[in-house]
Amino acid sequence: ALQIAVLASGSGSNLQSIIDAVERGALEAEICLVLCNRTDAYALERARKAGIPTATILHTEFETREAFDTAMIAALNAAGAELIVLAGFMRLLTPMFIQTFAGRIINIHPALLPSFKGAHGIADAVDYGVKLAGCTVHFVDECMDNGAIIAQAVVPCSTAESADVVQKRVLAFEHRIYPQVLQWIATKRVTLTGRKVTVQDTGLPKVVPD
Ligand code: GAR
């Protein structure tokens, strides 16, 4: 099975959706490592409960981004990672890291890219007054939140709603599309050409709420 490593900094609810998809047979992959850059990331707890190997590499202990990324690359290679899955991983990766795993890193972002890049996608979209929020799964390239888009889900919202409320609604869709995209990749149905992604033979990705 495809060996995936999940990188997380926080709660790890996306990690949980991936663990659950593997356990119910909806994702033909093995999580070979959960790597966190914070000791207090609840993602670590989720991994341990599921019996998944973990690594904690603290960015604060490295003088440069390159040194931090070099340590992560060593851990990921030692674990046999074939696909790097960023799930709420809140560190920018160096070009060196991205080139090491070229075309094999994906990210989920809580906005409809290319709108609202950055660390506060939901709050920025809500502050802007959007009526449609959403989330995006994309390949990672050397520019933040810029790589080729694999899937998106659209989530209606109202300007009367707080960022917290919208965030919960978006997160529920993240939990649906991320394991789905991983299964497409695990079954080799995703092709990246330039910045265009084609997905074969899936039935259509679900992009609107039920
Ligand atoms: C998710 O909403 C994810 O899209 C976002 O962080 C959250 C992590 O939640 N990622 C980014 O903002 C990346 N720029 P989780 O730890 O519960 O999966």
Task: Report CA(80)–ligand 1 centroid distance (Å).
Answer: 24
In the chain, the percentage of residues whose pLDDT exceeds 70 is 96
pTM: 0.95
ipTM for this prediction = 0.99
* Whole-number pLDDT of residue 201: 72
Distance CA 46, CA 181 (A): 21
* Whole-number pLDDT of residue 145: 97
What mean pLDDT is predicted for residues 179-202? 93
Q: What residue's CA is closest to ligand 1, atom 8?
A: 88
Distances (CA, A) of 4 to 50, 70, 86: 15, 18, 10
Distance CA 76, CA 164 (A): 33
Which residue among the candidates 59, 109, 120, 175 is catalytic per the annotation?
A: 109
Q: Is 13 in the pocket of ligand 1 (CB under 6 A)?
A: yes
Residue 188 φ/ψ, nearest 5 degrees: 60, 40
What mean pLDDT is predicted for residues 10-19? 98
pLDDT tens, residue by residue, 52-104: 999 999 999 999 999 999 999 999 999 999 999 999 999 999 999 999 999 99
* Whole-number pLDDT of residue 207: 52
Residue 110 CB-half CA count within 13 A: 24
Q: What residue's CA is closest to ligand 1, atom 10?
A: 88
Q: What share of the chain is helix, strand, coil (3-state, %, to 5)?
A: 35, 25, 40
Q: Is 146 in the pocket of ligand 1 (CB under 6 A)?
A: no
For a mutational test of ligand 1's pocket, the pick from 150, 170, 174, i.e. the residue with the most ligand atoms closer than 8 A to its C-beta, is 174
Q: How confident is the model at residue 132 (pLDDT cuts 50, 70, 90)?
A: very high
Task: Report CA(121)–ligand 1 centroid distance (Å).
Answer: 9
Mean pLDDT of the chain: 95
At residue 2's C-alpha, the angle toward residues 57 and 43, to 5°, is 35
Distance CA 44, CA 1 (A): 22
Q: Within 10 A of 107 (CB to CB), how many other CB atoms are there?
A: 24
What mean pLDDT is predicted for residues 48-55? 98
Say if CB 135 and CB 108 are below 8 A apart. yes
Q: Is 12 in the pocket of ligand 1 (CB under 6 A)?
A: yes
- Find out whether 88 is annotated in a ligand binding site: no
Task: Report CA(88)–ligand 1 centroid distance (Å).
Answer: 4
What mean pLDDT is predicted for residues 105-117? 98
Is the pLDDT confidence value at 208 over 60?
no
Say if CB 200 and CB 193 are below 8 A apart. no
Q: 22-26, 197-201, 206-210 — which one is most confidently predicted on average?
A: 22-26
Which atom of ligand 1 is nearest the CA belonging to 135? 4
